[in-house]
Amino acid sequence: MRDLLTNTDTVTFTITGTPARPAQRKTIQRLMQMQPHAAKALKGLQRQRRQKDNRTYIRAGNFWTDRARATRVTRVEPGQTFTIRVTPQIVADILSVQKYLDGKAA
């Protein structure tokens, strides 16, 4: 896998197993959210929460905001694939979860 990560290239990853540690699952989920269509969906949901879903009301003379939870647009499950552009900033993240990923040059 390390030879795939030397170039700043586009790589397709397939999840081969689900990590037991929550931190590793979150790392894979963050990598999956770097896909262009996932990032666009997250941006749209962020705008919707900001404009419609967050309730602002007055409590004890101050404005309080009841914030909606962020929506998860990706799932970490075996067999899921995602394609991202590998940059030097994310190589360490990929290497930390490489045991659960199978990568191929796109």
* pLDDT per residue as tens digits for the range 50-97: 889 999 999 999 999 999 998 889 999 999 999 999 988 999 999 999
Q: Residue 22: which domain range? A: 10-105
Structural domain contains residue 3: no
Structural domain contains residue 4: no
Structural domain contains residue 48: yes
CB contact at 8 A, 102 and 16? yes
Domain count, the chain: 1
Structural domain contains residue 1: no
pLDDT at 5: 74
Structural domain contains residue 2: no
Q: Could you tell me which residues come within 8 angstroms of residue 43 by beta carbon, excluding any fewer than 6 positions away?
A: none
- For 12-23, the pLDDT digits (tens) are 999 999 999 999
pLDDT at 8: 67
pLDDT at 27: 96
Would the pLDDT of 39 be above 70?
Answer: yes
Structural domain contains residue 20: yes
CA distance 98 to 4: 12
